[in-house]
Amino acid sequence: MPVTPFHFGPGALLKVLVPSGVSWTVFALANVLIDLEPILMFLLTGDPAHPWLHTLPGAIAVATLAATLGRLPCEAMLRVWNSKLSPRQARWLGVEARISRTAAWAGALLGTFTHLALDAFMHPDVRPLWPLVADNPWRGGVPLDVLHWGCVIAGILALPFWLLHLKHRGAGQ
């Protein structure tokens, strides 16, 4: 995947399917953190390699970091978001600023594991199941255009659920 944005579509769909059970903010943070590796590798070597964070132990390490140290900054960011909204906007766009530990862990683990799986289909150097499996058995299992469109469609599918949620929430206030 090009650095991270395509990963947000599946995250949005997961969020609308389990609204209180998944933190999309922590999901997004985990995706950004895991992609710091190829960005740093590119800056240092000119090759956007995926040597460690794009493995099972690396993904678990990133998820742990996002769920534990990232939860409070994500909550602060959500409070800032809410503070920028007018009262009318807040009825529709305001978000719960508290992220439960469970939702943070769900967002972090889903973020890193879906990221790992999606990148495994695309990048030859990703070893998603290392140390259990040394190579990448998923490489090329899904054509790149299908992979990208699948991520976009997941985000598009999330939209009507989100709008329905907003309508229901707006009607109740």
CA–CA distance, 117 with 127 (Å, rounded to integer): 10
Residue 22: left if φ>0, alpha if ψ -120 to 50, beta else—which one? beta
The dihedrals phi and psi of 86, each to the nearest 5 degrees, come to -75, 165
pLDDT 10s digits, 130-150? 999 999 999 989 999 999 999
Greater pLDDT, 168 or 103: 103
Task: Report the number of distinct structural domains present in the chain.
Answer: 1
Specify whether the CB–CB gap between 162 and 14 falls below 8 A: no
- Give the amino acid at 90: A
- In a 13 Å sphere around the CA of 33, the CA atoms on its Cβ side amount to 25
Q: Shortest CA distance to 7 belongs to which of 59, 61, 65?
A: 59
| DSSP 8-class letter at 35 | T
Range of the domain at 116: 5-171
56-68 pLDDT, tens digit per residue, is 999 999 999 999 9
Contact in structure between 98 and 75 (CB atoms under 8 Å): yes
What is the residue type of 12? A
Which pTM value belongs to this model?
0.90
